[in-house]
Amino acid sequence: MKQIAVISGKGGTGKTTVTGSLAALSQNKIIVDCDVDAADLHLLLHPTIKERHEFISGLTAVIDKQLCRKCKRCVSVCRFAAITPELTIEPFSCEGCGLCSRVCQNGAIHMKEKVAGEWFVSQTQYGSFVHAKLGIAEDNSGKLVAEIRRVAQELAESEKSDYILIDGPPGIGCPVIASLSGIDCALIVTEPTLSGLHDAQRVMEVAQHFKIPVKLVVNKFDLNPTMTQQIEEFCQKQGVQVIGKIAFDPIIVKALIDRKIIIEYANCPASDELRKIWEELKN
Amino acid sequence: MIISVASGKGGTGKTTIAVNLAICLTDVQFLDCDVEGPNAHIFLKPQISDVKKAVIPVPEIDEAKCIHCGTCQEVCAFKAIAVLPRNDSGKGNVLIFPHLCHGCGACSLLCPQKAIREVDKDIGTIEIGTKNEMHFVHGRLKPGEAMSPPLIRQVKTYINSTKTVIIDAPPGTSCPVITAVKGSDFCILVTEPTPFGLNDLILAVEVLRKLKITFGVVINRSDIGDGKVESFCQEENIPILMRIPFSREIAIHYSQGVPIVEKDISYRVQFKNLYSKICEIANEANRRH
């Protein structure tokens, strides 16, 4: 079984469009959407939810005003400025370390478990799909990614799948690292802009830091051919294979508006390129 | 006034809006809080005058004092410490996993032997500079580091609230975004008129309502999608501050790191109007509170 994650560094370069097409092209796989705080792949895959689970993660402090003697010891030890001078907890700032509850001499603070999101196992016409929705303004996205990847791996084992296809989050932080751990290949989708190159370099560094093989696709490559060439030269230096270049085509946006996967929507140069990309990727 | 620029979906044009708005205003401080993928410097080309190391405190054990009692492991909510109790020959060990540490300080404060001190762990850099009159600060998370919120908080310590502060936030709806936009007087949500844009806009709107931050929407590439973002904003009573139609030319300028207002003067007026609208809405919201 081979695990492939689609990442980008910079957001909006076409990760989900590419993952959608790979999901339609590949056989016998599990699909996972690891962009848990702004998940979009379900909009293309039209899943039927089979299982729904709460994601319980982390703790949050609760102050009992009756027991509180206003000594403010909690305020002085909290490094996250999560307790106001008026002794109320700011839930978005509380990281759940529990130090306040431990130092409170009146037992006025206890830690409560919180539901930080939901995850789903769904059926789609392309195969099983594991996805999630992080609660609004919640943290611990990395942990939720790790959880749905564990579920996907169990599913892949029981279904004897050949691939796990992962739609990754943007950036280089916690959820990206959780999406990359233990995978066989990272596919970077970038665009021919200075920002695209800058962020692709950073995420490539992360993948290489974790010793994960990297391949790269340039989306909308014809918007700036000079920059595309610069990206290709950079990749060559890094020993990273550029396995596809997708031309800018308004029909890709039309497919998205109709919530369809591009390779099923139109026979266009982009669809041909995506087929080629999958052939390169699957081996 | 502190204005942050955010979006649920990535790549909708946050940096474009933040940079061009900042260029059109006077007495501005620009903070790039997208520390995982900071890009504003590509467009602003600031002169960096100071580079600071960004660190978080992680524990270090003084083996001479440690009795392997296990308190630190017990109090660490993030499983960043494992204590191997002493064996028959009196040898124990403490393992620290710095990448899991949130730097809360519970272990060092609560160690009965005072055997834990905190040492700095490098998580990235903060670069400070200027572009003409504009003050510029950004954070760069070190690749391989998982936690961006501490670095975002450190970038935000440079906020000079006597100026108009523009914050370029990371994409998404989770902790890095919250950390970046918290404390703003106004937030611009940038989106595009596609199902992905709409889906992620709805999430971002929920975040801002939870945080009680006044906001409005800018629709980028406004003519290439459908009308669902417009109708959503109308139904939800969300002001649409600006629409930028798709143009190959803008895309090409962007790709070369050139701000639109430097190529197309008419956008200067539009960005100044954007700022006036923001002031109007923010003042109105202030009056109501």
Task: Choose the weakest-confidence range: A128-142, B31-45, B137-151, B188-202.
Answer: A128-142
Tell me the average pLDDT of chain B: 96
Which pTM value belongs to this model? 0.94
- Residue B70: is its pLDDT beyond 90? yes
**How many angstroms separate the CA atoms of B219 and B190, rounded?**
6
Indicate if B108 and B135 belong to the same structural domain. no
What are the beta bridge partners of residue A132? A119
**How many angstroms separate the CA atoms of A33 and A145, rounded?**
9
DSSP state of B29: E
DSSP B77-106: TT--EEEE---TTS--EEEE-GGG-----H
- Residue A139: is its pLDDT beyond 90? no
Task: Locate the chain A residue with the closest alpha carbon to B196.
Answer: A40
pLDDT digits (tens, 9 = 90+) for B240-257: 999 999 999 999 999 999
Distance of CA A36 to the CA centre of its chain: 6
Q: B147 CB near a chain A CB, below 8 Å? A: yes
Indicate if B82 and B177 belong to the same structural domain. no
Q: B37 CB near a chain A CB, below 8 Å? A: yes
- Residue B278: is its pLDDT beyond 80? yes
Which token pair is B192? 């595009």
Show which of B73, B91, B114 is a domain's final residue. Answer: B114
- Cβ–Cβ of B255/A192 closer than 8 Å? yes
- Residue A177: is its pLDDT beyond 80? yes
Q: A142 CB near a chain B CB, below 8 Å? A: yes
Indicate if B105 and B134 belong to the same structural domain. no
**How many angstroms separate the CA atoms of B29 and B27, rounded?**
7
**Beta strands at B134-141 and B81-84: parallel, antiparallel or unpaired:** unpaired
Indicate if B181 and B255 belong to the same structural domain. yes
Indicate if B9 and B77 belong to the same structural domain. no
3-state secondary structure of B243: strand
Task: Locate CATH 3.40.50.300 in chain A.
Answer: 2-46+125-282
pLDDT digits (tens, 9 = 90+) for A204-242: 999 999 999 999 999 999 999 999 999 999 999 999 999
**How many angstroms separate the CA atoms of A34 and A141, rounded?**
9
- Cβ–Cβ of A38/B210 closer than 8 Å? no
pLDDT of residue A133: 95
Yes or no: say if A165 and A30 are a contact pair by the CB < 8 Å rule: yes
Closest CA to A186 of A3, A10, A39, A9: A3
Indicate if B282 and B196 belong to the same structural domain. yes
Indicate if B72 and B198 belong to the same structural domain. no
Q: Taking a contact as any Cβ pair under 8 Å apart, which residues of chain B between 225 and 244 contact chain A?
A: 225-226
Mean per-residue pLDDT, B152-162 = 97
Burial zone of B88 (CB within 10 Å; 0-12 exposed, 13-18 middle, 19+ buried): exposed
Q: What fold is seen in the domain A58-115?
A: Alpha-Beta Plaits (3.30.70)
Domain count, chain B: 2
Tell me the average pLDDT of chain A: 96
B120 assigned to some structural domain: no
Share of chain A above pLDDT 70, in %: 100
Indicate if B108 and B160 belong to the same structural domain. no
B119 assigned to some structural domain: no
Indicate if B108 and B18 belong to the same structural domain. no
CATH of residue B81: 3.30.70.20
Which token pair is B231? 């109708």
Residue B37's domain comprises 2-54+125-288
Q: Between A11, A58, A175, which is nearest B9 by CB? A: A11
B134 assigned to some structural domain: yes
**How many angstroms separate the CA atoms of A22 and A279, rounded?**
10
B149 assigned to some structural domain: yes
User: Beta-carbon neighbour count of residue A72 at 10 Å?
Assistant: 12
| DSSP H or E segment with residue A84 | none
Class (C level, CATH) for A2-46+125-282: alpha beta
**How many angstroms separate the CA atoms of A160 and A121, rounded?**
17
pLDDT of residue A138: 81
Task: Locate the chain B residue with the closest alpha carbon to A179.
Answer: B146
Mean per-residue pLDDT, B90-109 = 92
- Cβ–Cβ of B37/A43 closer than 8 Å? no
Q: B171 CB near a chain A CB, below 8 Å? A: yes
Share of chain B above pLDDT 90, in %: 94
Which residue did the predictor score with more confidence, B174 or A160?
A: A160
pLDDT digits (tens, 9 = 90+) for A11-66: 999 999 999 999 999 999 999 999 999 999 999 999 999 999 999 988 999 999 99
B264 assigned to some structural domain: yes
pLDDT of residue A283: 80
B210 assigned to some structural domain: yes
pLDDT of residue B90: 81
Indicate if B67 and B47 belong to the same structural domain. no
Amino acid code (one letter) for B196: F
CATH of residue B6: 3.40.50.300
Q: A253 CB near a chain B CB, below 8 Å? A: yes
Q: A40 CB near a chain B CB, below 8 Å? A: yes
Indicate if B187 and B224 belong to the same structural domain. yes
Indicate if B68 and B31 belong to the same structural domain. no
